[in-house]
């Protein structure tokens, strides 16, 4: 096979990482991104387990450390702001805790990857794929801006609601699995000095109101933090693009709560990066159809509850590029090998996520909330190998190969 040109949809984490490694192996990647430029703002992500090794091999760790949020750990607080349970990063080590050693905004990581690759990779911002036609010899992609281009392969790395997946694999409803809760995130000003701590205020379910948590995550900019809200409940009917309707839903669930919540809600109208969605997993039986493959959240989103989505994206991109190189560009060999290498990691991550919120951020009773707080207070006194083994076991699932590009590439 002589596959050389690869179109990648999505300039988030998985797409640019894949482009970096494909270019290193002699392929010709092109990345198309709907946004007009690299995004700003965004929620905080972690690089855990084997993904740390991918970041090191990609050569971005020094810049990732510079972009670190400065978080020292997580503390749960009551309505008056008093700490009721605390988790420092030292409790878990590198991989296991709710605040990883390599924690930064998702958009900062995407920016670092873009800046690392833009000199050698073609990026097309402000455009998207509207149609895909596969032939024996390649893939023709039609673009929203008009016109079409031919490539050897197409990779959908365009998120939970992947347009590539919809066009090639079918409607979103086949693959999105609701986990029974919602979340909202946005950057907000705050006068509270977080001192590097991620603060979380949890309220147990009572009188028909579901269990829920509001939190503030420190950001590098003084006086600004990331506000986060999680709550259990059935989906509520609204237009996905109606931001005001989404903000009304969020306010209705949290407007009676104390701590810093009233100030966080008052900042909603001016939020520059408001995000609102159901917590869902993406489950696809197979990640490839002929010359099209899925990567990252488009293939296997574990949900934000897993804390490991970025690691799945980094490791998956490294493996997919490596298998294509090892197969001399033959997608018929590379795509199944990529999926075989990643499936166990994905299954573990999704299983972990399905239980991550139960009783932790959205307790069904006051008793469950008290049990959560007692468990958290106990963790610093347990051996690290016991405390962190759940997430470490997931994050270290894949053992990276040392791929070498064939001479012909």
Question: Strand 139-143's sheet: what is its strand order?
Answer: 129-134, 139-143, 148-151
Q: Which of 64-73, 271-280, 383-392 has the lowest mean pLDDT?
A: 383-392
Q: How many angstroms separate the CA atoms of 158 and 329, rounded?
A: 22
pLDDT tens-digit profile of 84-128?
998 876 655 544 455 556 788 889 999 999 999 999 999 999 999
Q: State the average pLDDT over residues 270-276.
A: 91
The pLDDT, as a whole number, for residue 95 is 44
Decide: 14 and 313 in contact? Cβ < 8 Å. yes
Q: State the average pLDDT over residues 175-191.
A: 93
State percent of the chain over pLDDT 90.
69
The pLDDT, as a whole number, for residue 96 is 43
Q: How many angstroms separate the CA atoms of 298 and 4, rounded?
A: 23
pLDDT tens-digit profile of 127-181?
999 999 998 889 999 999 999 999 999 999 999 999 999 999 999 999 999 999 9
Positive or negative: CA dihedral 211, 180, 71, 308: positive
Q: How many angstroms separate the CA atoms of 274 and 183, rounded?
A: 11
Over 90: is that where the pLDDT of 3 sits? no
State percent of the chain over pLDDT 70.
91
The pLDDT, as a whole number, for residue 356 is 66
Q: How many angstroms separate the CA atoms of 204 and 367, rounded?
A: 9
Angle (CA) 102-24-307 rounded to 5° is 25
The pLDDT, as a whole number, for residue 388 is 55
Q: How many angstroms separate the CA atoms of 28 and 307, rounded?
A: 32
- Which residue bears the tokens 């929620």? 43
pLDDT-based confidence at residue 211 (cuts at 50, 70, 90) = very high
Question: Strand 73-77's sheet: what is its strand order?
Answer: 83-88, 73-77, 197-203, 212-218, 224-232, 176-189, 275-282
**Domain spans of the chain, in order of start:** 5-68+105-175+281-358
Q: How many angstroms separate the CA atoms of 396 and 345, rounded?
A: 8
The pLDDT, as a whole number, for residue 45 is 87
State whether residue 288 is helix, strand or coil.
strand
pLDDT tens-digit profile of 307-354?
889 999 999 999 999 999 999 999 999 999 999 999 999 999 999 888
Instruction: Evaluate if pTM is beyond 0.85.
Output: yes
Q: State the average pLDDT over residues 53-82.
A: 91
Q: State the average pLDDT over residues 42-60.
A: 90
pLDDT-based confidence at residue 390 (cuts at 50, 70, 90) = low
State whether residue 199 is helix, strand or coil.
strand
Cβ contacts of 250-258, under 8 Å, gap ≥ 24: 250/184, 250/276, 253/209, 253/210, 253/212, 253/229, 254/212, 254/214, 254/229, 256/209, 257/79, 257/201, 257/203, 257/212, 257/214, 258/79, 258/80, 258/201
Q: How many angstroms separate the CA atoms of 100 and 96, rounded?
A: 7
The pLDDT, as a whole number, for residue 100 is 56
Q: How many angstroms separate the CA atoms of 32 and 145, rounded?
A: 11
Positive or negative: CA dihedral 245, 251, 252, 253: positive
Phi, psi of 138, deg, nearest 5 = 175, -165
pLDDT tens-digit profile of 76-94?
999 999 999 988 766 555 4
Angle (CA) 18-21-25 rounded to 5° is 130
Over 80: is that where the pLDDT of 357 sits? no
Give CA torsion, residues 337, 343, 349, 353, to 10 deg.
140
Q: Which of 16-30, 93-107, 216-230 has the lowest mean pLDDT?
A: 93-107
The pLDDT, as a whole number, for residue 339 is 98
What's the gap between Cα 367 and its chain centre?
31
Q: Which of 151-160, 214-223, 297-306, 372-381 has the highest mean pLDDT?
A: 151-160
The pLDDT, as a whole number, for residue 186 is 93
Which CATH number applies to 5-68+105-175+281-358?
3.50.50.60
Q: How many angstroms separate the CA atoms of 139 and 254, rounded?
A: 48
């Amino acid at each position: 096979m002589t596959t050389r040109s690869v179109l990648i949809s999505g300039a988030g984490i998985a797409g640019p990482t894949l482009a970096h490694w494909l270019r290193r192996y002699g392929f010709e990647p092109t990345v198309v991104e709907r946004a007009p430029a690299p995004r700003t703002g965004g929620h905080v992500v972690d690089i855990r387990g084997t993904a740390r090794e991918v970041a090191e091999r990609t050569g971005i760790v020094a810049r990732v450390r510079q972009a670190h949020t400065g978080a020292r750990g997580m503390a749960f607080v009551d309505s008056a702001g008093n700490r009721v349970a605390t988790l420092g990063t030292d409790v878990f080590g590198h991989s296991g805790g709710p605040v990883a050693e390599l924690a930064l905004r998702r958009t900062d990581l995407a920016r670092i990857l873009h800046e690392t690759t833009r000199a050698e990779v073609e990026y097309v911002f402000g455009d998207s794929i509207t149609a895909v036609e596969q032939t024996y010899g390649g893939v023709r992609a039609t673009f929203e801006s008009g016109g079409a281009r031919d490539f050897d392969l197409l990779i959908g790395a365009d998120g939970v609601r992947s347009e590539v997946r919809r066009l090639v694999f079918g409607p979103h409803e086949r693959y999105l699995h609701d986990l029974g809760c919602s979340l909202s995130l946005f950057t907000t000003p705050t006068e509270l000095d977080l001192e590097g701590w991620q603060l979380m205020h949890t309220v147990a379910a009572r009188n028909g109101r579901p269990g829920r948590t509001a939190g503030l995550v420190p950001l590098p900019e003084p006086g600004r933090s990331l506000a986060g809200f999680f709550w259990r409940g059935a989906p509520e009917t609204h237009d996905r693009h109606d931001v005001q309707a989404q903000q009304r839903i969020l306010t209705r669930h949290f407007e009676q709560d104390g701590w810093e919540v009233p100030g966080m809600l008052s900042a909603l109208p001016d939020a520059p990066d408001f995000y609102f969605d159901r917590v869902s997993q993406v489950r696809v039986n197979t990640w490839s159809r002929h010359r099209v493959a899925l990567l990252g959240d488009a293939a296997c989103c574990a949900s934000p509850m897993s804390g490991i989505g970025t690691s799945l994206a980094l490791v998956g991109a490294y493996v997919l590029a490596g298998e294509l190189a090892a197969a001399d560009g033959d997608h018929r060999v590379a795509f199944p090998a990529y999926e075989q290498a990643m499936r166990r990691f994905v299954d573990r991550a999704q299983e972990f996520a399905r239980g991550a919120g139960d009783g932790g951020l959205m307790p069904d009773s006051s008793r469950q909330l008290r049990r959560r707080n007692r468990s958290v207070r106990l963790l610093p006194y347990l051996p690290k190998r016991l405390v962190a083994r759940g997430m470490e076991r997931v994050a270290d699932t894949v053992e990276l190969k040392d791929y070498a590009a064939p001479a012909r590439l």
